[in-house]
Amino acid sequence: MARWVIPEYENPVASLFVVVCALLPWEVARQTAYGGTILHVRWPFFEWYQRVGILSPTPTTRLLTPLSAYQSQARGAIAPVVAAYAVWGVLAVLLLLLLAFAVGLSFREERVATICRERVQRRPAVLIGAGLVTAGVGFLAATVVLYLRGIQGIRVPVGSLFALLLGALLLSNDR
């Protein structure tokens, strides 16, 4: 395969890809249940949740972390849904580590690149690409489980697909 980005820009592009994936919601979901509507917008580090017309005529809006969302689901949801929330928590930690790695790569590119080549025998962009593909696959799997086992509705895995695509682009970039 050919190179799609020149070598001196590979690491800054990889860092930018991590930031983009951290800012995009991995899933946007709209569901109808119990005579009302539920809207979820799930970013890697938090979820915006709004419930309208269920148990109360006034909208209920909450901001949840992956841990608090997991804890609220663990009280009564079925096991696969709870597992999807646990996967979200693990992937949030992975993305946080990738974000820290990308910041280090942005400010100390030569040092981080040297450490990666010596200790892991890989370019930093390849490591970031592998992390983004892992996050994309994990978020897509969580979306599928929530679709199959959760409340039915419309789910759009925006950030999941971007993470998968951007990670694959980094992995397919030849030396």
**Percentage of the residues of the chain whose pLDDT score is greater than 70:** 97
Q: Is residue 55's pLDDT more than 80?
A: no
In our burial notation (b when 16+ CB lie closer than 10 A, e otherwise), range 102-131 reads: beebbeeeeebbeebeeeeeebbbbbbbeb
pLDDT confidence of residue 169: 92
Can you list the alpha helix ranges (DSSP code H) found in the chain? 7-23, 66-74, 79-107, 109-115, 124-149, 158-172
Report pTM.
0.90
Predicted pLDDT of residue 74: 82
Q: How far is residue 47's CA from residue 21's CA, in Å, rounded to a whole number?
A: 15
Mean pLDDT of 72-99: 89
Q: What's the CA gap between 5 and 99, in Å, rounded?
A: 21
Least confident stretch, 52-61, 64-73, 86-95, 150-159: 52-61
Mean per-residue pLDDT of the chain: 90
Tens digit of each residue's pLDDT (9 = 90 or more) over 119-152: 988 899 999 999 999 999 999 999 999 999 887 8
